[in-house]
Amino acid sequence: MSISPPTDTGLKTKKRPVSVTLLAWLYIAVGSIGFAYHLEPIVARHGFHNDDLLIQLTEIVAVVAGVFILQGENWARWLAVTWIAFHVFISFFDSVQKITIHVLFFMLVAYFLFQPKARRYFQHPDEIGT
């Protein structure tokens, strides 16, 4: 006599849209590469200076957002949108070109994270049908 696991555990698996997956991995890559890139001068100087800590923190936030987007956490998509909105804001202290690029990225991120398929993916099981 063999015991097989139940086929229906009552848990629904959420299908993640490809666009959400790609965006999440982009956040993880940008955060990881940015962290490594900005860490080198910190190590060379043997310590943090000026805005180094803030820059490293923003890179960590990008990785965290990406990882938890992959897990379907709704707060993570809001974190991702806030992260790019922050970059739009700080671009105003730089150049028109950077503002333009960050605004375009903001619009793409918002579109992909809030389109109907993505909304369903991030929907908590208790909210389904509301």
The span from the CA of 99 to the CA of 88, in Å, is: 6
The span from the CA of 94 to the CA of 3, in Å, is: 64
Reply yes or no on whether the pLDDT at 123 is more than 80. Answer: yes
- Position 9 scores a pLDDT of 43
Identify the residue with better confidence: 9 or 60.
60
Q: Mean pLDDT over residues 14-27, rounded?
A: 95
Tell me which DSSP letter residue 98 carries.
Answer: H
2: helix, strand or coil: coil
The span from the CA of 72 to the CA of 112, in Å, is: 14
Specify the pTM.
Answer: 0.81
CA triple 24-30-31, angle to 5 deg: 90
Reply yes or no on whether the pLDDT at 104 is more than 70. Answer: yes
- Position 8 scores a pLDDT of 43
Neighbours of 1 (CB within 10 A): 2
Task: Compute the mean pLDDT over every residue in the chain, rounded to the nearest whole number.
Answer: 86
Which of 67, 107, 64 is closest to 84 using CA atoms?
107
- Position 42 scores a pLDDT of 77
- Position 6 scores a pLDDT of 46
- Position 124 scores a pLDDT of 76
- Position 82 scores a pLDDT of 97
pLDDT digits (tens, 9 = 90+) for 51-102: 778 888 999 999 999 999 999 999 999 999 999 999 999 999 999 999 999 9
